Amino acid sequence: MSRTAIIAGVGPGLGASLARKFAEEGCSVGLFARSRDYVEMLAEELPTPAVAVEVDISDPEQVARGFERVRDELGPVEILVNHASGATWNGLRDCSTDEFEQAWRVAAYGGFLCSKEALPDMLDNGGTILFTGATSAVRGRGGAVGFSSAKFAVRGLAESMARELGPKGIHVAHIVIDGGILPSDTDVDSPEEYLDPDAIVESYWHLVEQDRNAWTLEFDLRPYVEDF
- Tens of pLDDT, residue by residue over 15-44, are 999 999 999 999 999 999 999 999 999 999
Average pLDDT across the chain, whole number:
93
Tell me how far apart the alpha carbons of residues 38 and 30 are, in angstroms, rounded to a whole number. 13
> Which pLDDT score is estimated for 144?
85
> Which pLDDT score is estimated for 140?
83
Q: How confident is the model at residue 188 (pLDDT cuts 50, 70, 90)?
A: confident
Tell me how far apart the alpha carbons of residues 217 and 99 are, in angstroms, rounded to a whole number. 30
Residue 121 Cα distances to 25, 32, 170, 173, angstroms: 20, 18, 11, 18
Q: In what order do the strands lie in the sheet with 127-134?
A: 50-54, 28-33, 4-8, 79-82, 127-134, 170-177, 218-221
> Which pLDDT score is estimated for 103?
94
Q: What is the CA radius of gyration of the chain?
A: 17
Question: What percent of the chain clears pLDDT 90, i.e. is strictly above it?
Answer: 81
Q: Are 148 and 140 in contact (CB under 8 A)?
A: yes
**Mean pLDDT to the nearest integer, 63-73:** 98
CATH architecture of the domain with range 4-219:
3-Layer(aba) Sandwich (3.40)
Counting every residue, how long is the chain?
228
pLDDT tens, residue by residue, 100-139: 999 999 999 999 999 999 999 999 899 999 999 999 998 8
Residue 10 has pLDDT above 60, yes or no: yes
Angle at 175 between CA 172 and CA 178, to 5 degrees: 165
Residue 42 Cα distances to 47, 57, 64, angstroms: 10, 19, 22
Residue 224 has pLDDT above 80, yes or no: no
Q: How confident is the model at residue 97 (pLDDT cuts 50, 70, 90)?
A: very high
Residue 185 has pLDDT above 80, yes or no: no
Task: Name the residue ranges covered by the structural domains of the chain.
Answer: 4-219
> Which pLDDT score is estimated for 227?
57
Residue 143 has pLDDT above 90, yes or no: no
Q: Where are the beta strands (DSSP E) in the chain?
A: 4-8, 28-33, 50-54, 79-82, 127-134, 170-177, 218-221
Between 34 and 2, the more confident residue is 34
Between 143 and 167, the more confident residue is 167
Instruction: Mention every residue, 6+ apart, whose C-beta is less than 8 A from residue 159.
Output: 174, 217, 218
Q: How confident is the model at residue 226 (pLDDT cuts 50, 70, 90)?
A: low
> Which pLDDT score is estimated for 225?
66
**Mean pLDDT to the nearest integer, 78-94:** 90
Centre a 10 Å sphere on the Cβ of residue 103 and count the other Cβ atoms it contains. Answer: 26
